[in-house]
């Protein structure tokens, strides 16, 4: 029986009981409660660790944290309860509770880190790149082989002082034929050769899809003559005409070496003292530069064109390579006919020169060893991609 038990109020709580015991009993009971308190604290820490370990998401972990360290958390409650204790007890228990609190906080921190690490790993996994997969290459376009030839032609003639002119693909009868000294009954005018457009010009003649680039001789030379008419009026020489006019041309024709749409490059050099010799020099130089070889010969074969007199077809023969020894026709040319010079608006007694028409499609076939012209215009990327 406890001494002085009469002094113990019936409603006395546990802590009050501890302090009304005999000294011996006090120590014993105090020790008992101390041990129990410590076990409770240990359990609390273990429970917190287990709770934290259970949390598999940061939000769950924060909820668990609130149960221990939040305003009404278990650790916080214990600390609050210290207020009602004596200073010694406060010190002793306070130290123990704080130690437990530190353990709880350490466990929380460790779990937080573990979860963050987990989350990062999951993200890395989700966003993983398989660097061994074949890349998705971005296709780059390329120039059409005929465009490449056109650019080469322009660059070479440009380097020897030729202007580059562009003109309409729908032409008048006069520019396509009459001005170029074509007789009224010339077969080129016939429906078999020339495409006509369902429209008439001012003379009531059908417009045509130009069957050659030669109308550009006329257009350019006339503009040039007009531009320098004031010099002519003063008896001064006008600058020479030196021009090329590359572009699309059309004829009713289709086989391995003919396409209804094809390309030509017209050339014209007119001055007071321009001769066939100049044409030979220019052409020889041009073909050597175009094919990047000195190993070729040029042949001027007499021919006929209404707009030139004399006229020549130009053949080349390579002295090496797969085409060695074969004569290949590459251009038409000649000294511009006086009637045509007159149609330029110039005096044929004073101005003379030569003209030529090169087939860029043909040059492209020779340059790349292609034997069917139609391949160029079918738009098959497997073929075209080879020319990048």
Binding footprint of ligand DAH on the chain (CB under 6 A): 212, 214, 266, 305, 308, 332-334, 355-357
The least CB distance from residue 184 to ligand DAH, in Å, is 18
The least CB distance from residue 133 to ligand DAH, in Å, is 54
- Taking the least distance from each CB to ligand DAH, the nearer of 333 and 343 is 333
Q: Which DSSP letter does residue 145 get?
A: H
- Taking the least distance from each CB to ligand DAH, the nearer of 73 and 332 is 332
The least CB distance from residue 359 to ligand DAH, in Å, is 8
Q: What is the CB-side half-sphere exposure of residue 261 using CA atoms within 13 A?
A: 9
State both tokens at 132. 């061994």
Give the angle subtended at the CA of 341 by the CAs of 266 and 173, to the nearest 5°: 65
- Taking the least distance from each CB to ligand DAH, the nearer of 103 and 249 is 249
- Taking the least distance from each CB to ligand DAH, the nearer of 247 and 334 is 334
- Taking the least distance from each CB to ligand DAH, the nearer of 152 and 263 is 263
The least CB distance from residue 183 to ligand DAH, in Å, is 15
- CB neighbour list of residue 42: distance below 8 Å, 6 or more residues apart: 100
- Taking the least distance from each CB to ligand DAH, the nearer of 65 and 251 is 251
Q: What is the DSSP string of 150-198?
A: HHHHHHHHHHTT-EE----SEE-HHHHTGGGT--TT-GGGSTTT--EEE
Sign of CA dihedral 104, 105, 108, 114: negative
Q: How far is CA 386 from CA 5, 361, 370, in A?
A: 111, 16, 12
The least CB distance from residue 332 to ligand DAH, in Å, is 3
- Taking the least distance from each CB to ligand DAH, the nearer of 19 and 304 is 304
Q: Judge whether 213 and 265 are in contact, CB under 8 Å.
A: yes
- Taking the least distance from each CB to ligand DAH, the nearer of 68 and 356 is 356
**Cα–Cα distance, 267 to 213 (Å, whole number):** 9
The least CB distance from residue 292 to ligand DAH, in Å, is 25
Nearest to 213 by CA among 264, 147, 163: 264
Cα-trace Rg, the chain:
51
The least CB distance from residue 334 to ligand DAH, in Å, is 4
The least CB distance from residue 247 to ligand DAH, in Å, is 12
> Looking at beta carbons, which pairs linking 192-201 to residues 24 or more positions away fall under 8 Å?
192/252, 193/251, 193/252, 193/253, 194/250, 194/251, 194/252, 195/250, 195/251, 195/252, 195/260, 197/170, 199/170, 201/172, 201/173, 201/174
Q: What is the CB-side half-sphere exposure of residue 182 using CA atoms within 13 A?
A: 19
């Amino acid at each position: 029986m406890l001494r002085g038990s009469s002094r113990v109020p019936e409603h006395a709580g546990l802590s009050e009981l501890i302090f009304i015991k005999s000294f011996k009993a006090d120590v014993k009971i105090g020790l008992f409660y101390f041990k129990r308190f410590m076990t409770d604290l240990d359990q609390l820490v273990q429970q917190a660790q287990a709770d934290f370990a259970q949390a598999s998401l940061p939000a769950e972990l924060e909820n668990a944290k609130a149960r221990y360290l939040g305003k009404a958390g278990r650790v916080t409650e214990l600390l609050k309860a210290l207020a009602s204790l004596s200073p010694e007890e406060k010190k002793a228990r306070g130290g123990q509770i704080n130690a437990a609190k530190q353990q709880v906080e350490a466990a929380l921190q460790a779990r937080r880190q573990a979860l963050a690490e987990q989350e990062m790993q999951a993200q890395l996994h989700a966003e993983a790149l398989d660097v061994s997969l074949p890349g998705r290459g971005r296709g780059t376009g390329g120039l059409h082989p005929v465009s490449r030839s056109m650019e080469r032609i322009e660059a070479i003639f440009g380097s020897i002082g030729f202007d580059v002119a562009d003109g309409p693909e729908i032409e008048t009868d006069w520019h396509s034929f009459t001005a170029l000294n074509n007789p009224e009954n010339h077969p080129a005018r016939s429906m078999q050769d020339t495409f006509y457009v369902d429209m008439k010009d001012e003379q009531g003649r059908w417009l045509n899809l130009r069957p050659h680039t030669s109308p550009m001789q006329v257009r350019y030379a006339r503009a040039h003559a007009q531009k320098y008419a004031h010099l002519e009026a003063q008896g001064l020489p006008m600058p020479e005409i030196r021009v090329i006019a590359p572009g699309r041309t059309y004829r009713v024709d289709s086989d391995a070496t003919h396409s209804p749409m094809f390309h030509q490059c017209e050339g014209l050099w007119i001055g007071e003292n321009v001769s066939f010799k100049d044409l030979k020099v220019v052409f020889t130089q041009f073909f050597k530069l175009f094919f990047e070889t000195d190993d070729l010969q040029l042949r001027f074969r007499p021919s006929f064109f209404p707009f030139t007199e004399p006229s020549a077809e130009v053949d080349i023969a390579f002295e090496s390579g797969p085409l060695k020894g074969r004569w290949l026709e590459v251009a038409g040319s000649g000294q511009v006919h006086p009637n045509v010079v007159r149609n330029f608006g110039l005096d044929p007694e004073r101005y003379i020169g030569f003209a030529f028409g090169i087939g860029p499609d043909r040059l492209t076939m020779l340059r790349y060893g292609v034997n069917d012209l139609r391949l160029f215009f079918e738009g098959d990327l497997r073929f075209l991609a080879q020319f990048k």
